[in-house]
Amino acid sequence: MTRRILVVNAGSSSLKLRVLGPGDAVEGAADLPAPRGVTDARELEGAIRGLGAVDAVGHRIVHGGTVFSGPVRIDARVVQRLEALTDLAPLHQPKSLAALTAVTAVLPDVPAVASFDTAFHSTLPAAAFTYALPPEWRRRWDLRRYGFHGLSHAYASRRAAELLGRTQDGLRIVTCHLGAGASLAAVRDGRSVDTTMGFTPLDGLVMATRSGSVDPGLVLWLAEHAGMPPAELAATLESRSGLLGLAGTADMREILAGAAEGHPEARLALDVYVHRLRGSIAAMAAALGGLDVLTFTGGVGERAPAVRALTADGLGFLGVALDPDSNQSGPDDREIGADGAPVRTLVIAAREDVEIAREVRGILDQSGSP
């Protein structure tokens, strides 16, 4: 049955509402400040009512821990479990839960489903998700690689197969979600087998304001020798590092312009970003035992052809080569690889909303909900 789905995507400072109808067409949209809780429901009510009647709601939830390996219909018990996972994602989970509370207050009788950023990576093999830490630590605190951006990686890998006229069976795909946050996933047969983010979204690639991977000994050194408290370390690594720390701006457009004009800080930021990105793509390809498809998605992945070109220039040994014209411009979803290149390279518009709506419909179909 065709359903009209309200997709709720809560970020750190904004709340994106999208209504998807038949064929996943966007039939309504609203961008609002992130809610703080049920007290903000009154401010949301007008916007939600203005989007028209909906049959179900899909909420993007950042962290499902080891409890949720797929979408789930939301009830009081699920909410309690989500609240218990807040310590695993203290910067992100409260925003998702506040949005859930506020929207539920406006639409209390509409079925709601939670879709998780971590769930796509629940298929990681033990070799990929296990940290080399004492077993008592790993068991007591569920210390493992969780991975994030799973909804984006799931959509991009599925859409890549569609564009190539294939099923995902047998395909080895590296999906590059490059935005303010950035991560890669190694996807084989439609399943995530490795990813760059870890226990938290701070790990992996250089991002807009996040450092990405750094030597943990460096962090320990700062705590011991510089007397830096954990809160300051966390705030710096999360909000004052990455491209911002290297170039004084988190905007890739400004960095590309500055590098072209010869500004050394911008050039360094771009070089560090691309160096880490190339190496991580190669690592994902190694986890797959080879590479068939490379996809770029997210704000930078979709709208920075120079970043794609620089990245591909260092991946010829994997079989990656771009067509300059296709890379520069074209439809939102397109192939940008050179003719005859062993690896197919694609640009795919990020559509987490489509992936969430798909999961919502699947859950409701399973439960026989009208």
Catalytic residue ranges: 117
d(CA 353, CA 15): 13
The Cβ-side half-sphere exposure at 189, using a 13 Å CA radius, reads 6
Distance CA 96, CA 100 (A): 6
Candidates 199, 183, 188, 172; CA nearest to 150 is 183
Q: Rounded CA gap, 209 and 219, in Å? A: 17
Contacts of 169 (CB under 8 A, 6+ apart): 189, 190
Residue 66: how many CA atoms within 13 Å on its side-chain side? 12
User: Is residue 48 within 8 Å of 107, Cβ to Cβ?
Assistant: yes
Q: Report CA-CA distances (Å) from 2 to 55, 171, 253, 365.
A: 9, 30, 40, 10
- The phi and psi torsions of 337 (rounded to 5 degrees) equal -75, 155
Phi, psi of 5 (to 5 degrees): -110, 130
CB-based contacts of 2: which residues, under 8 Å, 6+ apart? 21, 22
- Compute how many other C-beta atoms are within 10 angstroms of the C-beta atom of residue 290: 12
Neighbours of 243 (CB within 10 A): 25
Contact 336, 160 (CB under 8 A): no
Distance CA 361, CA 56 (A): 8
Distance (Å, rounded) from C-alpha 250 to C-alpha 136?
39
Burial group, residue 152, by CB count within 10 angstroms (0-12, 13-18, 19+): buried
